[in-house]
Structure 1
């Protein structure tokens, strides 16, 4: 079926978390230059899987593993921007066939990951504000040592606690992330 023959449907309206909440079982590690190579490997895998559709897809390394010098959980995060998130036939079967498994389906966002859980691929519509926000945060952390240190300090403090839900750990960083993005926007404007 050609891409333009896919039936348009409404997006999901609720969060579907396949497998339920998961305990945070990894810790922070010193930055590993191998994370960049892992990104390149998976970028190529994603683009190959998407074939011709991959020509219009954005694929970027995001998150702490994309920031040299920043300690991170050893999970490489990738953002993929597609034309239409609701046209799952255009990307999801190809990503699953390439070895990823579906973890999250929520309005405007899908998350697939490796079975080893060491690579998370966040799929959004290319123009979704979250895509720009991920890139804004990454670029700010790469260029501003003070914000990079603040972010790492926050993560280290949070890792002194036990987290039964990995999402709760992520949510606990929100205020610091928003403050860093605000400074990035102010500097840009």
Structure 2
């Protein structure tokens, strides 16, 4: 596995929600999963992050989570790098391999263990915000405050974590009739991806 690049930090800005993200996000996820299947790698791929939540302001960068068996990680990372993505190592999130591409449609790829805590938590957070607009609105306020305080990724992420406490995790626990990524139930829902809302780490 290549070493982490030193330039994780980058300029950022928030954009109003774009309805096109609903189609743009799943498309690369499906293409990545199809490409990996062609290599004999069984992997899941999901559109995550703020662009996956209707109505939520976001950095205009699509986030795709790829889940695979630990023994397939090198093959998955190698495949994604071959598509022009830059590899940045764990980037502050143990167990996650982070890649990014900055072109006409910027995108991040997060490679994690399929069915593991990172995979589950990121889907749980996405589904929780989709199902609870009032929670998404609070998260949006924290993001806007963070973006207003800084225009750089690492400082933005640190500020957002301070403005978005861990208490959401308990509200986002999946009910017995649903799993993260599956059909939403009306069971009481709460989230805590470490100190941030979403364990993308960026």
| TMscore range, shorter length | 0.7 to 0.9
Structure 2, unaligned stretches of length 5 or more? 175-187, 191-202
Larger radius of gyration: 1
1:91 aligned counterpart, secondary structure:
helix
2:89 match:
104
Q: Which moved more, 1:172-181 or 1:25-34?
A: 172-181
CA contact (8 A) 2:146 2:157 kept: no
With structure 2 as the length reference, what TM-score do the two structures score?
Answer: 0.74
Q: Does residue 146 of structure 1 match 2:134?
A: yes
- Paired residues for 1:62-73 under 5 Å: 62-73=48-59
The count of residues paired between Structure 1 and Structure 2 equals 173
CA contact (8 A) 1:140 1:181 kept: no
Question: Residue 140 and residue 99 in structure 1: after superposition, are their counterparts in 2 closer, same or farther (change >3 A)?
Answer: same
CA contact (8 A) 1:46 1:98 kept: no
1:7 match:
none
| Deviation, structure 1 residue 178 | 2.5
Q: Please give the per-residue CA displacement for 1:86-127, whole angstroms capped at 9, x wherever unaligned.
A: 544421221112222212246411111223381101000113
Q: Please give the per-residue CA displacement for 1:136-184, whole angstroms capped at 9, x wherever unaligned.
A: 11111111121011001111111111244x1332233335262222211
Q: C-alpha distance in 2, partners of 1:131/1:60? A: 9
Q: C-alpha distance in 1, partners of 2:30/2:118? A: 22
Q: C-alpha distance in 2, partners of 1:33/1:27? A: 18
Structure 1, unaligned stretches of length 5 or more? 1-10
Q: Does residue 182 of structure 1 match 2:170?
A: yes
1:34 match:
20
Superposed CA RMSD in Å reads 2.6
1:135 match:
123
Q: Which structure dedicates a bigger proportion of its chain to helix?
A: 1
4+ residue runs over 6 A deviation:
none
Question: Residue 132 and residue 162 in structure 1: after superposition, are their counterparts in 2 closer, same or farther (change >3 A)?
Answer: same
